[in-house]
Chain A
Amino acid sequence: MELRCQPLLPGAPVEGICLALTAPISFWGGVNPASGEIIDARHPQRGLNIAGTVLALPGTIGSSSASAVLLELVHAGRAPAALLMDAPDAILLLGIVVAREMGWPAPPAFRLPAAEQAALAGRLLRISQAGVITLDAEAPSLSTAGRP
């Protein structure tokens, strides 16, 4: 099965299990910048870890320090493998822009409507540079996404 998404910040092809959040998140105060753990007490995916996942974001809450948290995750080696965003959020994505300026390997980001994100939850995805998403036929169990 294949799906296409629009590259926002393209990068080399990536592979990872999709962690599809079910509520918008604020990276500042919502994600531990040192570990990647979701720490927002009110978030449904609290306790899961975004590091290494294909992180699907149905929405972001725009704290002006979201970019600093994402840059810190990249620097700490705890960033997602890729971001799938319902809408581009310049503040969050700037963390990736700055990481690349610093010469730090940073994940690609793509635009994918929230309605199409949910079906990817827990699946192993491969995403090409052009934004072609390939799903493995065998779906790993949903509970493995985001677990350390």
Chain B
Amino acid sequence: MVALTADESAIAAGSKGDGAAMAMRIVAEAARLMGAPRLIPIASAHIDGALYHGDSGTLFAEALVAGGARTAVRATLNVGSLTPAGCAAVHLPPHEHEMARRMMRAYEAMGCEPSWTCAPYQAGHRPAQGSDVAWGESNAVVFCNSVLGARTNRYGDFLDIACAIAGRAPDYGLHRPENRVATLLLDAGGLSDALRRSAVLYPVLGTLLGRRAGNAVAVIDGLQGCTDEDRLKALGAAAASAGGVGLFHVAGVTPEAPDAAAALGGLQPQERIVVTPAELSATLATLSTAADGERIDAVAIGSPHLSLAEIDAMEQLLAGRRLQRPLYANTGRHVLSALDRAGRRRGLEEAGVVFVVDTCIVVTPILPELEGAVLMTNSGKFAHYAPGNTGYAVVYGSLGECVESAVAGRLVREARAWN
């Protein structure tokens, strides 16, 4: 049974208004359901609940606003269903469009920052190692836990904003140090140096991790000196869409894993998985659903949202050429404004890049409806969600293959050994 402090009980009873009371009761009820003994203070929140799934979510947010609710801690917003910063057109019917707009406005009215990105950690929201936070959006959760070393569970719709208003979260799961110890060891040390230093490996490795780990905590060994922040971002996003991964460690890289033994808490792993070329190739094959052929109708990159470094890489590969197919570059306004300031946006748009900002192509209708259409991507998360959410079959490839295919208007492959 969850025990509330006198202050928490008073807020739940209405001492700070109806909206704050509703939020505190929701957090307390979630704590009771999960067997958390108490609530703990949080340092920040990242809110995934402002994506429109139906009118009820808009009415809930507006009820909080009407009750005077305000966020008690810093709260950034994940993607919405619209693109207020402009760029690609969203094809939502009028009623849905209006309700999505009202929902986004309600979350902003409660004091949430209009960051509208699934990569808040690259938009200046980086909680300190060891701090407790309440984050939503599976890739943001896994990055926050794994790369930043801050502590969060996977906060779903409604609980994320309720925690932000209450400034509290239920004390259970990944908030507790004993649950952050790895029980699974994934050994990638047998893969070639060339592959371990290629960005194209990381979404595939993440997919493999998600399928093998489920929601267990793993430590990956053998990647020292091979990763950067964007690769860890891609790995975590793929792992969190293929499985229930909320935290992973990389030995010698991530903050809670000075080495594999430390991440395992000094114990033997319950399971040890050696990543073989055969399993990697089998996982790679599952990321593409399109029939064999050269047809590519569009290319999409940026799930999670592209960093400026990833835009730089795309621009270098493009090397001033024009695209035969649209390349949807999904990113946040934090990156778009930097491109604007540097005068780089127009040139990229004239070459055929379509910026998708504040939202992305798998959460709202942006891609044109085409019979038998094929989407190419370098994102494990897009590869996972695009077939169901957009109707496009997918082809997975490296960023280089994505750019070359968009330039050529057909599938272009690079020679690469998956071992």
Query: A interface vs B, CB < 8 Å?
Result: 8-9, 28-29, 33-34, 62-69, 71-72, 74-76, 88, 90-91, 93-95, 97-99, 101-102
Complex Cα distance A57/B57, Å? 24
Chain A residues with Cβ below 8 Å from B63 are: 101-102
In the complex, besides A67-B157, A67-B158, A90-B159, 13 extra interface pairs with C-beta distance below 8 angstroms are: A65-B48, A65-B51, A67-B156, A68-B56, A68-B158, A72-B56, A74-B56, A91-B157, A94-B26, A94-B156, A98-B26, A99-B56, A101-B63
Q: How far is the CA of A91 from the CA of B156 in the complex (A)?
A: 6
C-alpha spacing A67/B26, complex, angstroms: 12
When chains A and B are docked, how far (Å) is the Cα of A27 from the Cα of B54? 14
Contact of A64 with B48 at beta-carbon distance under 8 Å, contacts A8-B33, A90-B30 already known: yes
Scoring A29, A74, A90, A95 by chain B CB atoms within 10 A of each residue's CB, the highest score goes to A90
Is there an interface contact between A64 and B56, defined as CB atoms closer than 8 Å? no
* A93-B157 Cα distance, complex, nearest whole Å: 11
Interface flag for B80 (CB, 8 Å):
no
Which of B25, B48, B137, B158 lies in contact with A71, CB distance below 8 A? B158
Interface residues of B (CB under 8 A from A): 22, 25-26, 29-30, 33-34, 48-49, 51, 53-57, 59-60, 63, 136-138, 154-159, 244, 388
A-B contacts counted at CB < 8 A amount to 92
Contact of B60 among A9, A62, A93, A98 (CB under 8 A): A98
Query: Nearest Cβ in chain A — how far from B179, in angstroms?
Result: 15
In the complex, A68 Cα to B57 Cα: how many Å?
A: 7
A75 to B55, CA, bound (A): 8
Top-9 shortest CB links A-B: A72-B54, A91-B156, A75-B56, A64-B156, A68-B53, A68-B157, A71-B56, A97-B29, A72-B56
What is the minimal beta-carbon distance from B170 to any residue of chain A, in angstroms? 8
Asked if B26 and A71 sit within 8 Å, CB to CB, the answer is no
Complex: A90 Cα to B155 Cα, angstroms:
9
Residue of chain A at shortest CB distance from B34: A90
Contact among B34, B155, B159 for A88, CB-based, below 8 A: B34
Please name all residues of chain A whose beta carbon is closer than 8 Å to the beta carbon of B138 when the two chains form the complex: 64
